[in-house]
Amino acid sequence: MKFSKMHALSNDFVVINNIKQNHYLDKNIIKKLSNRYTSIGFDQLLLIELSNNKNIDFHYRIFNSDGNEVNQCGNGARCFAKYVNIKKLTLKKNICISTNTNIIYLKILENNKVCVNMGIPLFDPKSLPFLGKLKNNNYSLFFNKKIIKFDIVSLGNPHCIIQVNNIFTTPVKLIGSFIQNHKLFPNKVNVGFMEYINSNNIKLRVFERGVGETNACGTGACAAVAVGINKKLLSNKVKVNLIGGSLNIKWKGDNSNIFMKGDAHYIYDGEIDL
């Protein structure tokens, strides 16, 4: 199987062109391929497929390192755009791709930058889904004798956003694992820890569903900004500072689309005997 290794803010991917080859990868194979010690290693695996719709350029599938398929990945979308551009699968700078749940619009910019239209953030608990109830204008869970308040939003995948005083002193793995696997999130959830700097800047760490903490999460950055704008903490243009680098997020609020701009980098091509 031929593949390419790519990264966006150190969130790393294996990209497989399933247009020119036709590989079926089951959950166990994906888990083996994701192992950083005995195989290639990656946070997510991305499949490029033909679209059945003449108005859509490609179909995009995403698998976490645990082998489970998910419906959205913002950093992966930027790498997708970079890949089809450098491999000349299309000459377009504006690309339309489908996922299992929605349509994404990508714009290839200069200096390895890609802008992604991530769609409309959804705050309805059913969109995640989330089975809890809103109390006193807050969602909350009891953990280690403390109440953790959080917000929820879906961007094609589910997000729980917790505002913290310091992302580096917060036990991200401990809290993230607890919330991610809580019964109120039947499909599990990505957990973002947001530190407010000012109305145009936040810091963010994300404990991703099926992966653990990653160096960056594009949908997580959009989710945190959407929550911050909804709570009137943030302006319409926000720089999100993640472990692996920064993303620029724009959102006008309400039922408008949210936009993400950031880097995407090609590393190498390889092939592996399955």
Catalytically active residues are: 73, 217
Q: Which sign does the torsion angle of CA 15, 212, 261, 56 carry?
A: positive
φ/ψ bin of 161: left (φ > 0), alpha (ψ from -120 to 50), beta (otherwise) = beta
User: Which residues make Cβ contacts (< 8 Å) with residue 119, sequence separation at least 6?
Assistant: 102, 103, 104, 155, 156, 257, 258
Long-range CB contacts for residues 124-130, cutoff 8 Å, separation at least 24: 124/154, 125/152, 127/154, 127/158, 128/152, 128/154, 128/158, 128/159, 128/185, 128/187, 128/189, 129/158, 129/185, 129/186, 129/187, 130/158, 130/184, 130/185, 130/189
Torsion sign, CA atoms 131, 133, 134, 139: negative
Report the distance separating Cα 243 and Cα 269, nearest Å: 26
Answer positive or negative: Cα dihedral of 202, 223, 93, 16: positive
